[in-house]
Structure 1
Amino acid sequence: IDADESRLDDTQTATEHVSIEHTVDESTPSSSRGDLRVLFQSLADEDAHAFWRNQDSWRIRSWHLYPRAQVHVLETVDGRVIYMFVDVSYPLSEATLKRMLQHGLEVPKLLVGGDLTMAEQLVSFIKAALLNAQSAV
């Protein structure tokens, strides 16, 4: 999703927001859900709270979708790599959600069918989470 096309106040559908300009190397290994669960369970509760609490300082380098793994990955300028399942809600702040939409979702060049729908739904989900965060203030 191009940053130029990710205006937060427009009425376009998510389908109109999807861009195929970015590519993802097909040789990128996909992670299994089990591997990611082990990774997240390895954080102590207090470490996890500190991790999410400090997200307003995150500057986004990239936001990629890996459809086969059903994971989207947020990479920050300072080297953090955050793996998130597309069908799970995470405690992302309003500022982080805005930065994600402004940066734009990078998807594989030949995204079609169910994978394209997944990208559209992810962008819609992020937009809805942002609206909810804004209305909670």
Structure 2
Amino acid sequence: MIDFEKINQQNDTITELSNVLTLLMTDRLLLDTHLSCELFDRYLTNVKEHQDVVERKMISSLLCSKNKQDNKVANDFLEGSKEIRRIVKQYTKKWCNHNRVNSKNLIIGDYDEFIQITKQMFELVLNRIVDETEKLYPLIRKL
């Protein structure tokens, strides 16, 4: 059984975090705080957890459907999910330092590039949430 309430809560949390982080990014001094690093980590963790749930519960259900259109939608979402995972992995590798024990730091060498790439990632994830809400969830409810 798919818990749409939980999924909607995940979407709300991801959206709220991206909004707060976007605001924090307007001030370099705020961005360089430990709290900002924690929020970025929370954002990335929530995106991963949400993708895991959507893939495991929703996309897998559509892939099992005998309807070819459902299969196509599932494959399209799966490809999109792979792309988001790839982007998040690259982002984490470039901008996040998780090597120290119990230490999470952002590594911002080029502030303007960081802002640009982060905003692009936020936009990609938020667009994905809209697509899920408008295209994926209605199909799942029909099953």
Instruction: Output the TM-score relative to the length of structure 2.
Output: 0.29
Report 1 or 2 for greater relative contact order, CA contacts < 8 Å, sequence distance ≥ 6: 1
**Greater helix content:** 2
After TM superposition, the score normalised by the length of structure 1 is 0.30
Which structure's residues are more often strand, by fraction?
1
Instruction: Choose 1 or 2 for highest CA Rg.
Output: 2
